[in-house]
């Protein structure tokens, strides 16, 4: 399976020990991105946002950062390893000035550990560095959502590991969206989420806009 997936990836640099993609459904998303690019050529050297549904559902992304050329390449339900396998399709082909990654949320929900999230994130950064060594990368911490409040401890461990590792890397920033999304009692803020208590509402994205904005490369 790994060999087959490696053949599907358009570039090199995928670690030999990387787990297979979490779902074959992502091929449909990649085809959709290719069709969108063919219909409307993407901007030159954008800041690419990629990762799972918190990125995919950010419909106001361009309006929230009017002074930054952004491109949304989120694919809902994905895990960190999926971003590694499809790094060409969701990021590298655009020769981005910066990549912003949000992933790890679904990984932990599916039983992966904080150590696995970190290892896969390291593989993602290595994959980018293999082809475009100087590209700045911003890693968004895993958000705390009411529907996954039982996973807060593992999410916190993963975020702490990501923060510590990013601090040792050049051109890798960790952005803490976890802490501001907790209330005074350390509970995920219900007011930031839609009815499913997992995905963010406009207030949640407004908070993210304010947190992430200072980190973006203009």
User: Taking 60 as the threshold, does the pLDDT of residue 42 lie above it?
Assistant: yes
Quickly state the pLDDT bin for 10 (edges 50, 70, 90): very low
Query: Coil, strand, or helix at residue 102?
Result: strand
Mean pLDDT, rounded, of the chain: 94
User: Taking 80 as the threshold, does the pLDDT of residue 95 lie above it?
Assistant: yes
Quickly state the pLDDT bin for 12 (edges 50, 70, 90): low
- What domains lie within the chain, and their CATH numbers? 47-215 (3.40.50.1110)
Q: Percent of the chain, pLDDT > 70?
A: 94
Calculate mean pLDDT across residues 13-42. 94
Q: What is the pLDDT of residue 8?
A: 41
Measure CA 98 to chain center.
12
Q: What is the pLDDT of residue 13?
A: 80
Q: If phi over 0 gives left and psi between -120 and 50 gives alpha, with beta otherwise, what is residue 217?
A: beta
pLDDT digits (tens, 9 = 90+) for 104-117: 999 999 999 999 99
User: Taking 90 as the threshold, does the pLDDT of residue 7 lie above it?
Assistant: no
Beta carbons within 8 Å of 49's beta carbon, 6+ residues apart: 55, 58, 61, 70, 71, 72, 73, 74, 100, 102
CA distance 87 to 191: 33
Selection from 85, 120, 86 nearest residue 103 by Cα: 120
Q: What is the pLDDT of residue 67?
A: 96
Calculate mean pLDDT across residues 41-59. 97
Q: Percent of the chain, pLDDT > 90?
A: 92
User: Taking 90 as the threshold, does the pLDDT of residue 6 lie above it?
Assistant: no
Quickly state the pLDDT bin for 17 (edges 50, 70, 90): confident
pLDDT digits (tens, 9 = 90+) for 140-199: 999 999 999 999 999 999 999 999 999 999 999 999 999 999 999 999 999 999 999 999
Q: What is the pLDDT of residue 40?
A: 96
């Amino acid at each position: 399976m790994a060999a087959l997936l490696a053949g599907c990836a358009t570039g090199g640099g995928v670690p030999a020990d990387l787990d297979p993609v979490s779902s074959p459904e992502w091929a449909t998303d990649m085809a959709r991105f290719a069709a969108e690019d063919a219909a409307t050529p993407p901007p030159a050297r954008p800041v690419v946002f990629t990762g799972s549904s918190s990125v995919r559902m950010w419909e106001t992304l361009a309006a929230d950062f009017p002074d930054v050329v952004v491109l949304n390449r989120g694919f809902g339900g994905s895990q960190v390893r999926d971003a590694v396998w499809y790094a060409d399709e969701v990021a590298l082909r655009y020769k981005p000035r910066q990549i912003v990654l949000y992933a790890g949320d679904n990984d932990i929900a599916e039983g992966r550990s904080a150590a696995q999230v970190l290892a896969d994130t390291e593989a993602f950064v290595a994959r980018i560095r293999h082809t475009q060594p100087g590209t700045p990368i911003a890693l968004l911490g895993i958000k705390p959502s009411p529907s996954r409040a039982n996973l807060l401890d593992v999410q916190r461990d993963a975020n702490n590991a990501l923060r510590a590792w990013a601090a040792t890397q050049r051109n890798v920033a960790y952005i803490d969206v976890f802490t501001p999304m907790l209330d005074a009692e350390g509970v995920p803020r219900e007011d930031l989420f839609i009815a499913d208590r997992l995905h963010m509402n406009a207030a949640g994205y407004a908070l993210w806009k304010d947190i992430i904005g200072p980190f973006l490369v203009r």
